[in-house]
């Protein structure tokens, strides 16, 4: 059944924006009385029905549980070109909760203000497609040092991925993890500078390896998220869901 993240809802009524209305009518060819799943992107889902081109109504609440049992915040040094689009799409499918795009010392691009809207749209579509209950949050891009400062004091376990380093692997760290929220930073094409790694360690981050191969700046966050999701879901049986 088609899933739609709704932005306007009043009691049992749902209001479609122009783009959603066009998609439901012209692309999916849904008509009055057809049903779909409406999500608020924050964790609630409903079975809903089309009333008119611009309105739907809620039929009943749905209890769906497809979210990971752990929150993942990715701090991603922006890769060149549109590389972050692919990271947002794939990591949303895999279960990321929050993306913090960062400008590291070796980041090449200067993201335009419109990029955030584009990334949010990609995250919304990926959440609908992968049947998630939440749409990940994406913050405005910030300098990597500012991101570290803004995190402040926290209980969360934090890791920074450093290629060619003689550190623990992320997998080893995850196997001993008890935290319900993890923060992981990945670098740009040229990697983090030694100073950035030093600052991150001073801010409470543990350097970790993702193996002996050097992953692209786009592949590293996807590998991180897959690993966390696999470990987090390892002990959950279908009966627990
Ligand atoms: N030019 C860097 C070098 O030669 O060390 C490699 C940068 S890599 C293309 C981009 C980012 O992905 C790195 O900053 C790191 O965060 C992450 N990464 C890639 N491979 C990794 C690995 N094997 N272990 C840990 N992090 C890795």
Q: Encode pLDDT of 61-74 as tens digits.
A: 998 889 999 999 99
CATH code of the domain made up of 71-240: 3.40.1280.10
Domain boundaries defined on the chain: 3-62, 71-240
CA distance 140 to 114: 10
pLDDT of residue 235: 63
Kindly tell me if the per-residue pLDDT of 48 is higher than 70.
Answer: yes
Model confidence pLDDT, tens digit, residues 174-206? 998 888 999 999 999 999 999 999 999 999 999
Contacts of 176 (CB under 8 A, 6+ apart): none
pLDDT in tens, 82-104: 999 999 999 999 999 999 999 99
Ligand 1 atom nearest residue 185's Cα? 16
Question: How confident is residue 241, by pLDDT bands cut at 50, 70 and 90?
Answer: very low
Indicate the average pLDDT of the chain. Answer: 93
Say how far apart CA 48 and CA 59 lie, in whole Å.
Answer: 5
Cβ of 107 less than 6 Å from ligand 1? no
| Residue whose CA lies nearest to ligand 1 atom number 27 | 163
163 lines ligand 1 (CB under 6 A): yes
| pLDDT tens digit sequence for 127-175 | 999 999 999 999 999 999 999 999 987 889 999 999 998 999 999 999 9
Q: Is the pLDDT of residue 237 over 80?
A: no
Q: Identify the pLDDT of residue 113.
A: 85
d(CA 216, ligand 1 centre) in Å: 7
| Residue 53 CA to its chain's centroid (Å) | 31
Q: How many whole angstroms from 143 Cα to the centroid of ligand 1?
A: 19
Q: Is the CB of 24 under 6 A from ligand 1?
A: no
More confident residue, 209 or 237: 209
Question: Does ligand 1 have an atom closer than 6 angstroms to the CB of 170?
Answer: no
Check whether 13 has a pLDDT greater than 80: yes
pTM for the full predicted model: 0.89
Q: Which of 174, 191, 206 to mutate to test the pocket of ligand 1 (most atoms within 8 A of CB)?
A: 191
CA of 218 to the centre of ligand 1 (A): 10
pLDDT given at position 152? 80
CA of 210 to the centre of ligand 1 (A): 8
Does 109 sit in the ligand 1 pocket, CB within 6 Å?
no
Say if ligand 1 is within 6 A of residue 102 CB: no
Give domain 3-62's CATH number out of 3.10.450.350, 2.40.240.20, 3.40.720.10, 3.40.50.150: 2.40.240.20
Local confidence band at 239 (pLDDT 50, 70, 90 cut-offs):
very low
Per-position b or e across 2-39, b if 16+ CB within 10 A of its CB:
ebbbbeebeeeebebeeebbeebbeeeebeeeeebbbb
| Percentage of the residues of the chain whose pLDDT score is greater than 90 | 83
């Amino acid at each position: 059944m088609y899933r739609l993240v709704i932005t306007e809802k009043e009691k049992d009524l749902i209001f479609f924006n122009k783009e959603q209305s066009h998609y439901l009518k012209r692309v999916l060819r849904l008509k009055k009385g057809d049903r779909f799943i409406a999500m608020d992107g924050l964790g609630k889902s409903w079975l809903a029905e089309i009333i008119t081109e611009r309105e739907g109504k809620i039929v009943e609440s749905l209890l769906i549980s497809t979210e990971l049992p752990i929150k993942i915040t990715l701090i991603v040094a922006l890769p060149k070109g549109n590389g972050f689009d692919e990271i947002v799409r794939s990591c949303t499918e895999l279960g990321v909760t929050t993306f913090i795009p960062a400008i590291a010392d070796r980041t090449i691009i200067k993201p335009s203000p419109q990029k955030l809207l584009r990334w949010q749209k990609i995250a919304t579509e990926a959440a609908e497609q992968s049947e998630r209950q939440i749409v990940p949050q994406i913050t405005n891009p910030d300098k990597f040092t500012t991101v570290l400062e803004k995190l402040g004091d926290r209980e969360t376990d934090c890791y920074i991925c450093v290629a060619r380093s003689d550190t623990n692997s992320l997998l080893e760290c995850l196997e001993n993890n008890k935290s319900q929220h993890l923060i992981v930073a990945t670098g740009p094409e040229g990697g983090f500078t030694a100073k950035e790694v030093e600052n991150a360690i001073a801010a409470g981050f543990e350097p970790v390896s993702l193996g002996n191969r050097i992953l692209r700046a786009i592949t590293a966050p996807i590998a991180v998220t897959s690993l966390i999701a696999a470990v987090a879901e390892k002990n959950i049986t279908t009966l627990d869901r």
